[in-house]
A and B are shown apart, each in its own frame.
Chain A
Amino acid sequence: MARVVLVGNLAQVTGGVAEFDLSVTSVRHLFQQLSELHPALEPHLAEGVAVAIDGQIYQDVLFQPIGPNSEVFLLPQIAGGSGGPPPAYKSASVMAVGQNWRSAFIARTAGRSAPAKGQ
């Protein structure tokens, strides 16, 4: 399973959950699964995140493959990708009934500092 880590403010959207072990084969698949688990993530994923797969940073590459043992980081988009307006917010695509994605998801909070209170 791929180990997926949310960097920076993204973890605040998931209520502090920053690490996932997911069975995903591509960036698009990863975004679908994350949006299912945490719908609040969906606009951030649509807006633009950079995806680092095994150390290599990718931006705007839905079909980039993710390996079974890959280490994946989701970073805020540090640089522009497509210059055109991003797609309007869409509701997360519905996972096929029967896929037991819940069993594939393990949340870890150890080692992550809690989101800041106030400033």
Chain B
Amino acid sequence: MAENGHPQTYVGTRTIRPDGIDKVTGRARFGADFNLAGQLIGRVLRSPHAHARILSIDTSKAEALPGVKAVITRDDFADQSSEFIPAGEMMMNYKDVVRNVMAREKALYEGHPVAAVAATSVAIARRALKLIDVEYEVLPHVIDVVEAMRPDAPLLHDDLFTVGVEPKPDKPSNIAKRVEITLGDVEAGFKKADLIIEREFKTAPVHQGYIEPHAALATVSEDGSTELWCTTQGHYIVRAHCARLLGLDIGKVRVTATEIGGGFGGKTVVYLEPLAIALSRKAQRPVKMVMSREEVFKASGPTSGATVRVKMGATKDGKFVAGFAELKYQAGAFQGSPVQPGVMCAYAPYDIENVKVIGYDVVSNRPKVAAYRAPGAPISEYAVESVVDEIAKKLDIDPIDLRMQNAAREGTKAAYGPKLGPIGMEETLNAIKKTEHWNTPLRKWQGRGVASGFWFNIGGETSASLTVNEDGTVSLVAGTPDIGGLRASLAMVAADELGIPYDKVRPIIGDTGSLGFNFLTGGSRSAFSGSMAIVEAAKQIKAELCARACKLWDVKPDQVEFAGGHVRPTGAVADKAKPMSLADFAKVAGKTGGPIGGYGRINAQGAGPSLGTHLVDLEVDPETGRVTILRYTVAQDAGHAIHPAYVEGQFQGGAVQGIGWALNEEYIYGADGKLQNAGFLDYRMPVASDVPMIDAIIVEVANPKHPLGVRGVGETPIVPPLGAIANAMENATGIRFTELPMSPPKVLKALKERGLNKV
């Protein structure tokens, strides 16, 4: 029994996931594994130019090609008025969404969709694309964020006026927004500092890198009812976007989320789905669309590249007295970079009296950015953690002790306003300090780095149902796609709450027709919110069973209790009847009132931040600039781990994504604005031989707002690696790298400049 009174036979153990067998046998069906009889293949024609006005589109030759059943362009989508909507953990504007899905006035990045066809075979579809004549007026383009902010930069949108500056600008620019948070008075704070360090950092766009490309299969009936299968983190969101863009009633669109081969935030928006539906509606046949890997890189959102300036002040005893930062984030072709959360998280792990962080959201001619695991935070926290490390070195204070001294704790006023509840910053620092890893000596050219990270986590609208079947087994329906073990976690919670064996609970992810609204899987929310909804559904079932027992046994409500999977009479009437299990009630369900079930419909609140601290040892080869990660330890606060192995998996996966981001991944553009490394060979992500075992330490500082103490854990793991690895590089080479990635050519160049490139 847990402290909070909730039973725990399964929660906290390492069960086998119920959807696992299908995934190890190839039976599980992902987005591209679905087919419908008579389906057509859809393909997209994409702009070859980074920036161009679209003067005309002639599809007549393509339409005339035998085998082509439909062609769509901007004319098939009604324009949308400006309206902001939440999308993952960022905001998007429907006016921009319709233009990103299909270009209207301009092509704003290489890869921007300009037209699409549906044909009876891939070969015919490809030929049809070649027959579409598009007249472009090529315009000068801009890629770099600082370049894009210049007043004479090529302008992407002539109706984009910077929000958040006074006086309001009368000329449009590429700067969509300026945001700011302020706490105390940084100027006064800097006057109190004995040490001030100021640095500028630069990061490049990186892609979420999911192995499964985007895929969608749509079929539209003659009355407009639409069925869609797609790989997505949020099928209710897809439904809402498609209904809006295509002018359909939401209730007429039924979306099934297939198994999803990775998302990390990148599958929280629509790309192919509205196109597939539009083509199917026109062709009156099902249409299947799958992106190639090149299309994924060129036309789905990476995260921002950025320029970040950080200035921190500390007393000689190591107390942080002032923290300033200025962030410039690329949004891609349309506004909406994660600069806001980047601003809010920059100093969040610390208790600093005086903080000022400014952020700019800047558009440029590259794909619109999409969320990527703790959007915005890895960039700003990389910069701050690097400067914290420099402070530690200059003041000769142990880097963990310095962070401990300034750690945010329960009651600390966050720079973005409210006081924090209980959080595990100190606990994760202590956990790292106690490891054998921290105390192992290093050799020449080896370096050790540590960094901490903060992410908010969210709750949101969640619906989940539990139904007791006639034999006492329980069907569980959740509405957030399972990207890494959710079904196992929810089944464990249901089994514990109802006191039944884990294998008697069968979880599925329902389609949009099965449940009320569910916000998407993201924001580290699916286990957090889903388990809350399941606890609620289970409560309803238990109350229902107790009510029926009262009627069956003719006793009063305070004379029955639910425990260990049974309802039993208590107190004076304890001997009146034998306890009844779920299966017993299920046998007589019809006679006692009807089917038994619970339906949790909530807007989950109370998500608690997850703090993490990472420790990394690495070795630099001075002759090649190659960096080898020798050892890596993650300590992160999970509140309460429902399934420890999948929590560890989140820590390890996020850490390795961070390793890739820090050491090698980046979008490389040519002078023509075209992406040069749109494939896994040249966009090189870490492989098994690049990394060691990742030690994972689960810290548990219970979240008081969740019935089981759970915190979301999925995103925080990608926040500390950039800083930890940069700090380890400084430790190994004496060089502070302020540009990511620290790839071999860059490392070698820096070593050569200092005459250090020999063993």
Contacts and interface: CB of A to CB of B under 8 A. Distances in A.
Q: Do chains A and B touch in the complex (CB under 8 A)?
A: yes
Contacts of B356: 113
Interface in B492-532: 517, 519-520, 522-523
Nearest to A115: B166
A115 B416 contact: no
B378 interface: no
Contact of A79 (B162, B418, B421, B460): B460
B461 A82 contact: yes
A9 B179 CA distance: 6
Nearest to B417: A73
Contacts of B419: 54-55, 71
A111 interface: yes
A56 interface: yes
Nearest to A64: B605
Interface in A1-22: 5, 7-9, 12
Contacts of B607: 57
Interface in A57-84: 57-61, 64, 71, 73, 75-84
Nearest to B341: A78
Interface residues on chain B, size class: 35 or more
B381 to A, nearest CB: 15
B47 interface: no
Contact of B519 (A61, A80, A115, A119): A80
Interface in B230-256: 234, 236-237, 240, 244, 250
A52 B165 contact: no
B523 A80 contact: yes
A76 B185 CA distance: 21
Nearest to A16: B166
Contacts of A81: 86, 460-461, 519, 603
Nearest to B239: A83
Secondary structure at chain A's binding surface: helix, strand, loop or mixed?
loop
A86 interface: yes
Of A61, A80, A84, A113, which is in contact with the most chain B CB atoms at under 10 Å from its CB? A80
Name the residue among B162, B169, B461 with the largest chain A CB count within 10 angstroms: B461
A84 B179 contact: no
A7 B240 CA distance: 30
Given A48-B84, A111-B185, A119-B178, A83 B459 contact: no
Nearest to B609: A57
Between B169, B250, B344, B417, the greatest number of chain A beta carbons within 10 A of the residue's beta carbon is seen for B417
B165 A59 contact: no
A116 B85 contact: no
Contacts of B180: 8-9, 116
B308 to A, nearest CB: 16
A52 B418 contact: yes
A1 B343 CA distance: 30
B618 interface: no
Contacts of A75: 344, 416-418
Nearest to B241: A83
A52 B460 contact: no
A61 B604 CA distance: 10
Contacts of B89: 78-80
A108 B166 CA distance: 20
Contacts of A85: 83, 85, 94, 240, 244
Contacts, number: 146
B88 A80 contact: yes
Interface residues of A, number: 40
Interface string B577-611: 00000000000000000000000000101110000
Contacts of A90: none
B458 interface: yes
A38 interface: no
A12 B166 contact: yes
A51 to B, nearest CB: 9
Interface string B555-594: 0000000000000000000000000000000000000000
Nearest to B412: A55
Contact of A80 (B169, B181, B458, B605): B458
B5 interface: no
A12 B178 CA distance: 11
Contacts of A78: 89, 340-341, 344, 456, 458
Contacts of A112: 182
B340 A117 contact: no
A32 B83 CA distance: 21
B164 interface: yes
Contact of B517 (A64, A83, A118): A83
A112 B419 CA distance: 19
A48 B92 CA distance: 12
A68 to B, nearest CB: 18
B240 A9 contact: no
B86 A48 contact: yes
Interface string A13-54: 000000000000000000000000000000000011000101
B264 to A, nearest CB: 16
Interface in B318-369: 340-341, 343-344, 356, 358, 360
Q: State the 9 A-B residue pairs at the shortest beta-carbon distance, nearest first.
A: A80-B86, A52-B418, A73-B417, A79-B458, A55-B419, A115-B166, A79-B89, A7-B417, A9-B164
Given A47-B84, A54-B419, A78-B340, 10 more contacts: A52-B418, A58-B605, A76-B179, A77-B86, A80-B523, A81-B86, A81-B461, A84-B517, A114-B166, A117-B167
15 contacts: A56-B418, A75-B418, A78-B340, A79-B86, A79-B456, A80-B86, A80-B460, A81-B519, A81-B603, A85-B244, A111-B184, A113-B182, A116-B166, A119-B175, A119-B178
